[in-house]
A = this chain, B = another copy of it.
Amino acid sequence: MRPTSEELAVWRLLHRAQVQIAGRLEDDLMKAHDLPLASYEVLLRLSEAPGLRLRMNDLAHRVLLSRSGLTRLVDRLQREGLVSREACESDARGLYAVLTAQGKARVEEATPVYLRGIRRHFLDLLDPDDVGRCREMLAKLGVV
C-alpha cells in the first residue's frame, strides 16, 4: 500500500531531525573543542571499549563509516596523537585502534559538551515517556 502523505512526511521529518541534531552537536563540539563529531564518536567508542581499543573493522561499523573511511579518520587522529595503532596478536590481519592518554584526556574534555548537546537538542525537547517509546520504535526498526 502506498504511504499516505503524512507517513511520507514522517520519514522526511525523521531525516531532518537527525541532520538538525547532528549539526548542532557538531557545532557545539567544534566551537568548544575544535573536534568534528565523527572524530569525537571514534574517541568515545574507544573510551568505552575494554582496553581502550577496538578493531578497525568493528569500529568502522560502530561509527557508521566504511573501512576506508575509518582508515583515513584514524590516520588524522593518529597524526594528532589521540589514537595509535597496535597489532592484534590473535589475528595478524587485524589492527587495534587504541586511545592514547592524550586522546583520553581530549574525549573527557569534550564529553560534557556532547552530553549537554544531546540533552538540549534532543532529550529536553521530548516528554519523559517519549524516550522509552522512541527506543521501542527504534528497536522495531531492527537497528542494533
> Which residues on A are within 8 Å of B, measured CB to CB?
1-3, 6-11, 13-22, 64, 115, 118-119, 122-123, 125-127, 130-131, 133-135, 137-144
A141 and B17 within 8 A (CB): yes
Interface hub of A7, A9, A139 (most chain B Cβ within 10 A): A7
Number of copies: 2
With A and B bound together, what is the CA distance between A131 and B140 in angstroms? 12
A7 and B142 within 8 A (CB): no
With A and B bound together, what is the CA distance between A141 and B137 in angstroms? 16
* Across-interface contacts of A11 in B (CB, < 8 A): 21, 118, 122
B125 and A7 within 8 A (CB): no
With A and B bound together, what is the CA distance between A78 and B135 in angstroms? 42
